[in-house]
């Protein structure tokens, strides 16, 4: 970036200071595309996110800036806005060849620069910069400099949010993100279930979608550590994290709270589907052959997310989990159902047998 004009250095430094002041991914992305737009005078810039659903890859626009205004696409967006990854040949070329950039001329004559964002060896998003004239070298230097700062800083943020052993989000991240994900999220896409699963007595059930929090505990995990050692116990945790990732969408959130306990935020799903999804995960674990250890099971308690505090919501899910373990393990229990049936009393209890996070 040695060829950058003195006039550009001051605003460039100002933007770099602003970029590195953020501790949250979406705000970081907004500051980056704003800096790129203001410093390069291009037509438009988009941030596109890649996510997986039903083993298929899709792309959804997360934010765009044009005519000087930034528009963010939040989680209230309809799933209709997602497009198959195959509809973006430039992004496909970046993935196939592991490219750090791709430059092309669009059918309308505009010049488009694609900048993939790589994380853990996978492309999780991409910046699209569109200009009505070819990119000059000085402009490319500015773009590369800001974009590399963004990628490096995003990696640092991601590292601080993850559990070192499993790579899942950690408890600290849950505490920071719960309110945003629990109350701001809305239907994005439903899980893949057979049509028969959505029917009752020949009629389609029109059930409202909600958001759910589940607490998962590996049954008899202490015995695994005592019998096989902590190395095999760690391997069980790593493989459990892989099963969790495979059982839920990339838009859901999975956390390791420490030890053998995990928390799941399941988004925009009916109660009927949530029950099936959680039980499908339980079956996936039950059917998996863990090296040396053999068969492992999990117990799960879940609750509908309301505008209660995280402590209350976690406490309710933990009560349901405790009941699942007390009732024989390897099962799922729904808190509201247990309350309605009189098995549990509503509200946080001080029962010493219930362990709260």
Q: Which domain holds residue 37?
A: 6-161
> How far apart, in whole angstroms, are the C-alpha atoms of residue 32 and residue 87?
25
* Same domain membership, residue 214 and residue 129: no
Residue 223 domain flag: yes
* Same domain membership, residue 83 and residue 223: no
Residue 355 domain flag: no
pLDDT for 6 equals 59
Under 8 Å between Cβ of 281 and 212: no
Question: Where a domain ends, among 138, 161, 184?
Answer: 161
CA 214: distance to chain centroid? 15
Q: What is the CATH number of the domain that holds 273?
A: 3.30.70.270
pLDDT for 7 equals 60
Q: What percent of the chain has pLDDT over 90?
A: 54
* Same domain membership, residue 88 and residue 215: no
Q: Is the pLDDT of residue 14 over 90?
A: no
* Same domain membership, residue 153 and residue 175: no
Residue 58 domain flag: yes
Q: What is the CATH number of the domain that holds 107?
A: 3.30.450.40
* Same domain membership, residue 182 and residue 155: no
* Same domain membership, residue 149 and residue 236: no
Beta-strand ranges (E) seen in the chain are 44-53, 56-66, 69-72, 83-84, 102-105, 111-119, 122-131, 199-200, 203-204, 209-218, 253-258, 261-270, 298-304, 332-334
pLDDT for 118 equals 92
pLDDT for 353 equals 41
Is pTM beyond 0.85? Reply is: no
The pLDDT confidence band at residue 46, using thresholds 50, 70 and 90, is very high
What is the rounded average pLDDT for all residues in the chain? Answer: 84
Residue 348 domain flag: no
Q: Is the pLDDT of residue 202 over 90?
A: no
* Other residues' Cβ atoms within 10 Å of the Cβ of residue 177: 17
Q: Is the pLDDT of residue 291 over 60?
A: yes
pLDDT for 180 equals 65
Measuring CA to CA, which residue among 322, 306, 305 is closest to residue 357? 322
* Same domain membership, residue 186 and residue 137: no
Measuring CA to CA, which residue among 286, 312, 289, 287 is closest to residue 299? 286
From the number of C-beta atoms within 10 Å of its C-beta (0-12, 13-18, 19+), residue 48 rates as buried
Helices (H), 162-214: 171-184
Q: What percent of the chain has pLDDT over 70?
A: 84
For residue 199, the SS3 value is: strand
Residues in the chain: 357
pLDDT for 268 equals 84
Torsion angles phi and psi, residue 65, rounded to 5 = -130, 125
* Other residues' Cβ atoms within 10 Å of the Cβ of residue 314: 21
Measuring CA to CA, which residue among 47, 133, 40 is closest to residue 91? 47
Residue 1 domain flag: no
* Same domain membership, residue 233 and residue 133: no
Measuring CA to CA, which residue among 299, 317, 206, 216 is closest to residue 257? 216
Residue 108 domain flag: yes
Torsion angles phi and psi, residue 197, rounded to 5 = -70, -20
Beta-strand ranges (E) seen in 94-240 are 102-105, 111-119, 122-131, 199-200, 203-204, 209-218
pLDDT one-digit tens code per residue, 137-193: 999 999 999 999 999 988 888 888 899 899 899 998 898 778 765 555 443 344 444
From the number of C-beta atoms within 10 Å of its C-beta (0-12, 13-18, 19+), residue 18 rates as middle
Question: Where a domain ends, among 95, 130, 161?
Answer: 161
* Same domain membership, residue 52 and residue 85: yes
Domain count, the chain: 2
pLDDT for 157 equals 85
* Same domain membership, residue 85 and residue 194: no
Measuring CA to CA, which residue among 321, 273, 319 is closest to residue 298? 321
Q: Which residues are catalytic?
A: 260
Residue 119 domain flag: yes
| Distances 279 to 35, 212, 289, 330 between C-alpha atoms, Å | 46, 14, 18, 10
Residue 225 domain flag: yes
Residue 123 DSSP code? E
**Average pLDDT for residues 248-266, to the nearest whole number?**
91
* Same domain membership, residue 133 and residue 47: yes
The pLDDT confidence band at residue 92, using thresholds 50, 70 and 90, is very high
**Average pLDDT for residues 31-49, to the nearest whole number?**
91
Question: Where a domain ends, among 161, 186, 218?
Answer: 161
* Same domain membership, residue 239 and residue 92: no
**Helix, strand counts (H, E) of the chain:** 10, 14
pLDDT for 21 equals 76
Contacts of 177 (CB under 8 A, 6+ apart): 169, 253
Of 48-52, 253-257, 348-352, which has the strongest mean pLDDT?
A: 253-257
**Average pLDDT for residues 294-316, to the nearest whole number?**
92
């Amino acid at each position: 970036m040695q060829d950058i004009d003195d006039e550009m250095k001051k605003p460039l430094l100002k933007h770099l200071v602003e970029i590195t002041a953020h501790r949250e991914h979406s705000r970081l992305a907004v500051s980056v595309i704003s800096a790129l737009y203001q410093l390069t005078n291009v037509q438009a810039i988009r941030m596109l996110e890649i996510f997986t659903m039903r083993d298929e890859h899709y792309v959804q626009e997360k934010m765009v800036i044009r005519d000087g205004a930034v528009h963010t696409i939040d989680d209230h967006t309809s799933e209709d806005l997602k497009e198959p990854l195959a509809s973006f040949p430039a992004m496909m070329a970046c993935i196939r060849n592991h490219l750090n950039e791709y430059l092309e001329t669009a059918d309308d004559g505009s010049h488009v620069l694609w900048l993939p964002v790589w994380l853990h060896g996978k492309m999780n998003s991409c910046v699209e910069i569109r200009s009505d004239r070819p990119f000059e070298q000085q402009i490319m230097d500015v773009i590369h400099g800001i974009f590399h700062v963004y990628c490096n800083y995003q990696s640092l943020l991601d590292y601080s949010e993850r559990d070192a052993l499993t790579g899942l989000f950690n408890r600290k991240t849950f505490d920071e993100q719960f309110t945003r994900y629990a109350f701001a999220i809305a239907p994005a896409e439903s899980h893949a279930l057979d049509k028969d699963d959505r029917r009752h007595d020949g009629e389609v059930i029109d059930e409202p979608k909600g958001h759910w929090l589940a607490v998962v505990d590996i049954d008899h995990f202490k015995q695994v550590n005592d019998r096989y050692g902590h190395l095999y116990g760690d391997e069980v945790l790593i493989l459990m994290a892989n099963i969790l990732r495979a059982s839920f969408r990339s838009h859901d959130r999975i956390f390791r709270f420490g030890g053998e306990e995990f928390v799941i935020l399941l988004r925009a799903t009916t109660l009927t589907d949530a029950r099936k999804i959680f039980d499908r995960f339980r079956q996936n674990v039950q059917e998996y052959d863990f090296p040396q250890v053999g068969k492992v099971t999990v117990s799960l308690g879940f609750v509908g997310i309301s505008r209660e505090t995280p402590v209350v919501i976690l406490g309710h899910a933990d009560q349901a989990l405790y009941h699942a373990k007390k009732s024989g393990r390897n099962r799922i229990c729904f808190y509201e159902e247990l309350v309605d049936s009189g098995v549990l009393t509503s509200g946080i209890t001080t029962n010493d047998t219930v362990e709260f996070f």
